């Protein structure tokens, strides 16, 4: 149990580090009023946690998340997952 807990804590810390770094770079990119777009994995985007949370901590409150979604099981994601969803074509 200890190893699993430690691995989970390392994973959470790594995600937090990435979220913070990406938010800082996006914030820097918008300093002159430019629009910045970040492409990142699901864990950094969903529920407006991760990078959006870190951007909010930096004083940037105007963010949107766009989530790619595969309709393999026919169900859409819950609405709190992202601000918008785009459906990927079947392969």
The tens digit of pLDDT for each residue in 16-75 reads 999 999 999 999 999 999 999 999 988 898 898 999 999 999 999 999 999 888 887 778
How far is the C-alpha of 30 from the C-alpha of 55, rounded, in Å? 11
Residue 15 pLDDT class (50, 70, 90 cuts)? very high
Write the pLDDT tens digit of every residue in 80-91. Answer: 989 998 888 876
Question: What pLDDT does residue 91 have?
Answer: 67
Residue 76 CA, chain-centre distance (Å), reads 18
Kindly state the helix (H) or strand (E) to which residue 87 belongs, with its residue range: strand 84-87
How many structural domains compose the chain? 1
In which domain, by residue range, is 13 found?
Answer: 2-87
DSSP 72: T
pTM value is 0.82
Kindly state the helix (H) or strand (E) to which residue 69 belongs, with its residue range: strand 66-69
End-to-end CA distance of the chain: 40
């Amino acid at each position: 149990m200890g190893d699993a807990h430690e691995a989970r804590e390392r994973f959470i810390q790594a995600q937090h580090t990435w979220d913070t770094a990406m938010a800082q770079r996006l914030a820097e990119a918008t300093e002159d009023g430019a629009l910045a777009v970040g492409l990142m994995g699901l864990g950094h985007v969903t529920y407006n946690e991760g990078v959006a949370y870190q951007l909010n901590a930096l004083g940037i409150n105007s963010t949107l998340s766009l989530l790619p979604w595969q309709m393999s099981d026919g169900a859409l994601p819950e609405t709190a997952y992202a601000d918008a969803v785009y459906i990927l074509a079947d392969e």
